[in-house]
A and B are shown apart, each in its own frame.
Chain A
C-alpha cells in the first residue's frame, strides 16, 4: 500500500494547519469494502457535513470509491481545515440528487445513519505510556507518565490493557524524601503513584527495541501477557511518550535514540497488521512536533507539546523534593483530564486548546490529516476511557448445583504407601562424601589434534620414516 506523500515543509510547523496533504490510496484497497455493514471509518466519505439534514442515503459503492480516488486531495483539504466549513447546501449539490419527497419521514433515519458515521467503531482501548528518562533530576518525566496513567485508569482502562514503561524508579529512589510517592503538584497534593500501580517495563527494560517490539507485536514467545500489546483491529490505542528529545528523535535512557522515521514505520507495521483502529499519539518533549512529521499511516492523530525549534518547559519545582515535578504541557493536560469523567462528551478540539502559549511558553501542535473523523466528533473518552459493554439479563443463574458437581470432581489424591520425609537442609556427611561429578569425555578438539599432527610430522621429518620400527 503505497502512499504518495509530500515531504514535510522545511520550516517550522504551525499549530493549527495540517502538516502534509497526502493522497492515500489505502481507502480504495481497504478491507472495509469486504466487511459486512462496513466500518464507518473506512468508508468515510470526506466532505459529509455535520448537520444532519442534507445527508443523502448510502451512496452505491462504485460511486464512493471513484470519488475518493479523484477527490482525495481536495476533499480532505475541505474536510479537515479547522477554518470555516463549506455550507451543507453547496456540498449536497455536488453529491447528486436527493430523493425528492418522503424525505421528511426518513429524516431521522438519515440522522441516525449520519450519527453512526461519526461514532468511532472501536471495541476496546489500550494505552502504551512510556517514560524514557533515567536519573533523579528527570523526576518530572516519570510524574508526567504516571499522571496520564492515573487518568487513564480512572476513566476505565484496566491494568491489563495498559503497558506502562518507566525507565527509572523515582518512588523508591533513595533520594526521594517521601518513599513510594510521586507527586505532580507542589506541596505534595496529588500522589500519582498511588497504591495499585503496575509497571510492566522497568528500569533497564525500557529500550528502543522493547518499545518497538511492544508496538509491532514481535515479542519473544515467553513474554508474559502483561507486557504485550494485544490489540486488534478494533482497538483504540493511546500512546504517550515523554523524555528528552530533539528534532526528529527521542532519547531513551541517555544511551540510545528513536527517530521519527522509525516510529512512523512502526505505526505502518501496526496498520498493516491491523493492530489498531485509531491511534492517538501524544508526545511531551522538546521539539516534539518533529516526531509526528513522518507519520503516513491512516487513523493517527498526534499531539505534541512544542514545535520544532522550541523547548518544552517544566512547570514547577518542589522545594521539599528538590526537583521539578511536572512538565507544563502534561500538567495542563492533567488538569484538563481531571474534569473528564467516563460519560463526558468533551471532544478533541478541547484537548487541542489545552495549554496555549501564554501558559505553556511553547506552542503545542497537533496533526489530524491522517485521521478519518473530524476531531470535533472524537470524544476524549474514545482514547482515554474504555468501552465497557454491559448486558442486562433478566434470567437468574444459580451457582449451588455447580459447586456440588465441582467438589465431587476433585481428583482423589493417591496416598503414598509410606510417609514422606522433608529433605534435610544441611546433610553434612552427605555433602562431604559427594562424589565428584564425572566429567563427560569429549573427543579432543581441533586444536589438540592439529598440535599432535604437527609434532608427529616434525618428528618423522627429522628422523625419517625408517626409524618408525624403533618407535613402536
Chain B
C-alpha cells in the first residue's frame, strides 16, 4: 500500500498471504490443528498455504488479540504466519467469489471480473470469521463471515489524465440487480467535501440518500445507492455510477495519516545488513503507544544487542519487549515491542543481522531472485479528533469496524510495512557439472601423461620410403635441383 498516494488504507494487508487463527481452548494439540487448517485452506483458496510450517509460524504475545467475542486471551492458542512470496491471482478470486451467496452471478459481485480487478495498482482480498453479538444485549452469539476486497484503480494514468471515473470504466460492466439472497445491497460513494468547499464534484445518477459517518477519525459523507430499492432501476435497467470533478484539481494531496511506517534494509555485501523501520506519528499534540511485531526468518541472524530505538535524537526505551530467538530450520525470530510515540515525531528502529548459509537443497528453484522477509505489523489505538460512536450492525454493516473499539476517542488501526527482499549467498548451481568437467580434464591430462610416460615403450621405426605424394614431390625437386625430402 502506498501511503503517500493512497492515504490511510481502509483495511491493510501485508504482501503475500497472511493467516492467523485463535484456537478454542478445547483444542489439545494446537500445532497439529494449525497444520491441518493451513492445508485445508490451501485447497479452498488455491494458494500455497500448505507451505506454512514451524519455520514461518510465530505465536505473538501482545498483538493480534481476537477480533470477536472472547472470554480470555491465552496467547498459546494463537498462531500467525505470513508467506510473503505468494501471488494473488484469479485462482484466488474464484473461490472467494464462490463463498458469496449469489456467487458472481447477481448483485454487486457481477462487477468482480478478474481481468479488470487485477489491472490495478493494489489488490487485496480477505476473509474474516469471528463471533459477534447478535443484538445489543449481547446475550447470544452469532458468527460473522466478512469478505473484503480492496482494489486501487489508477484511473488517472489510464483515464487520459482526468480523475473522473465510472463503474463502467473501472469494471467494464454495470450493476443490473441486487442479489435476491441479500438483505442489504448498497453502493457508497465518498463525496466528502475537502476544505469545506462544496460543489467540487458531481455524482450521476443523483443518489437517493446521503449518509454521514466517521471513518478512522475523519468525518465523511457518502452518497448511497440502494440496489434493493425499486426506485433505483426505474429510469434505466442498469446502474452506472459516475463521478465528475467540476474543477480540475491542481494538487490532489490526500491527508497524511496519523500513523504510518516504512521499512528498508541497508548494508552492503552478502554477509551483514541492517533492517531499519521508520514510524511516523503526525498527530500534532497526542502521543500514543504502538506495538511492533517483526517476524524475521531464521536465515537472517539478528543481533539483538544492536537493537536501537531513537526518537527525536534520544533513545526510546520500549515499555514491553518480547523476543523469541530463532532456531535454525525450526523457528523464525519474533520481536514484539510496545513503543511510546511522542507527538509529531519520527521513530527509527534499527537492528543488524548476518546472513546464514543454506544447504543446497533448501534453495528455491529461483534463488537469485532473493528471499523475502515478511512485513512487520504495527497495531495502535490512534486517537481521533472527532468522537466516534458505535455503529449498529443492522443499519450499516460496512461501517462497523472490523476492530471493536471500547471507547469513541480512538480507533484501532493495524498497519503493515513493506516486505524486504534480501539476497543470500547463493552457490552456483551449475558447479557440480563444471567441477566434473574440470576434474576429469585435470585427471586426464596429468594422470594420462604420467601413465603414458611410464608405460609407453619406444621402438625404432624404419623410415618409410614415403607415400605417393612424397615421391612426386621428390621428382619435382629433382627437376628443380633442390635436395630431396
Contact A425 B412 (CB under 8 A): yes
Quick one: which of B44, B91, B379 contacts A199, CB cutoff 8 A?
Answer: B91
Candidate in B115, B403, B406 with the most chain A CB atoms within 10 angstroms: B115
Quick one: which of A134, A197, A254 contacts B91, CB cutoff 8 A?
Answer: A197
A198 close to B (CB within 8 Å): yes
> How far apart are the CA atoms of A226 and B44 in the complex, in Å?
8
> How far apart are the CA atoms of A222 and B95 in the complex, in Å?
19
> How far apart are the CA atoms of A178 and B119 in the complex, in Å?
7
CB distance from A258 to the nearest CB of B (A): 14
Q: Name which of B65-73, B299-307, B341-349, B434-442 contacts chain A.
A: B65-73
Q: Which residue of chain A lies nearest to B114 when distances are taken between CB atoms in the complex?
A: A180
Contact A434 B117 (CB under 8 A): no
* Known A-B contacts A172-B87, A204-B51; A420 and B138 likewise in contact (beta carbons under 8 Å): yes
B310 close to A (CB within 8 Å): no
B155 close to A (CB within 8 Å): no
Contact B404 A422 (CB under 8 A): yes
Contact B119 A227 (CB under 8 A): no
Quick one: which of B43, B73, B429 contacts A227, CB cutoff 8 A?
Answer: B43
With an 8 Å Cβ cutoff, the count of chain A residues facing the other chain is 48
Question: Which B residues touch A338, using CB under 8 A?
Answer: none
Flag A139-183 by CB within 8 Å of B: 1 or 0 each. Answer: 000000000000000000000000000000101100000111100
Q: Name which of A79-87, A105-113, A307-315, A411-419 contacts chain B.
A: A411-419
Contact B90 A419 (CB under 8 A): no
Question: Which A residues touch B46, using CB under 8 A?
Answer: 198-200, 202, 226
Question: Which B residues touch A135, using CB under 8 A?
Answer: 366
For the A-B complex, the count of residue pairs with Cβ-Cβ distances under 8 Å equals 153
- Could you tell me which residues of chain A, from 196 to 212, have a CB within 8 Å of some CB in chain B? 196-200, 202-205
CB distance from B16 to the nearest CB of A (A): 12
Contact A224 B119 (CB under 8 A): no
A184 close to B (CB within 8 Å): no
With an 8 Å Cβ cutoff, the count of chain B residues facing the other chain is 59
B35 close to A (CB within 8 Å): yes
Candidate in A193, A205, A227, A431 with the most chain B CB atoms within 10 angstroms: A431
> How far apart are the CA atoms of A413 and B131 in the complex, in Å?
13
Mostly helix, strand, loop or mixed at chain B's interface? Answer: loop
- Could you tell me which residues of chain B, from 102 to 149, have a CB within 8 Å of some CB in chain A? 113-115, 117-119, 133, 137-141
Q: Which residue of chain B lies nearest to A204 when distances are taken between CB atoms in the complex?
A: B364
Q: Which residue of chain B lies nearest to A420 when distances are taken between CB atoms in the complex?
A: B69
Question: Which A residues touch B379, using CB under 8 A?
Answer: 425-426
Contact A195 B113 (CB under 8 A): yes
Q: Which residue of chain A lies nearest to B42 when distances are taken between CB atoms in the complex?
A: A224
Candidate in B90, B366, B405 with the most chain A CB atoms within 10 angstroms: B90
Flag A247-272 by CB within 8 Å of B: 1 or 0 each. Answer: 00000011100000000000000000
Contact A432 B320 (CB under 8 A): yes
Question: Which A residues touch B40, using CB under 8 A?
Answer: 222, 224
* Known A-B contacts A224-B42, A431-B291; A172 and B406 likewise in contact (beta carbons under 8 Å): no
Contact B89 A224 (CB under 8 A): no
Contact A420 B133 (CB under 8 A): yes
> How far apart are the CA atoms of A253 and B379 in the complex, in Å?
39
B36 close to A (CB within 8 Å): yes
> How far apart are the CA atoms of A427 and B291 in the complex, in Å?
11
> How far apart are the CA atoms of A419 and B134 in the complex, in Å?
11
Question: Which B residues touch A195, using CB under 8 A?
Answer: 90, 94, 113-115
Candidate in A195, A416, A426 with the most chain B CB atoms within 10 angstroms: A426
A90 close to B (CB within 8 Å): no
Question: Which B residues touch A194, using CB under 8 A?
Answer: 90
> How far apart are the CA atoms of A191 and B115 in the complex, in Å?
10
Contact A428 B89 (CB under 8 A): no
Contact B138 A253 (CB under 8 A): no
A-B CB contact pairs (8 Å), 24 listed? A134-B365, A180-B118, A181-B115, A193-B90, A197-B90, A202-B87, A224-B40, A226-B46, A415-B140, A419-B138, A421-B69, A421-B138, A422-B69, A422-B406, A423-B69, A425-B65, A425-B404, A425-B405, A425-B412, A428-B319, A431-B291, A431-B320, A431-B338, A432-B320
B interface residues (Cβ-Cβ under 8 A, vs A): 35-36, 39-40, 42-44, 46-48, 50-51, 61-62, 65-71, 73, 85, 87-91, 94-95, 113-115, 117-119, 133, 137-141, 289, 291, 319-320, 338, 364-366, 379-381, 403-406, 412, 429
A interface residues (Cβ-Cβ under 8 A, vs B): 134-135, 169, 171-172, 178-181, 191, 193-200, 202-205, 220, 222-227, 253-255, 413, 415-416, 419-428, 431-432, 434
The 6 closest A-B pairs by CB, nearest first: A224-B43, A180-B118, A422-B404, A172-B89, A419-B138, A179-B118
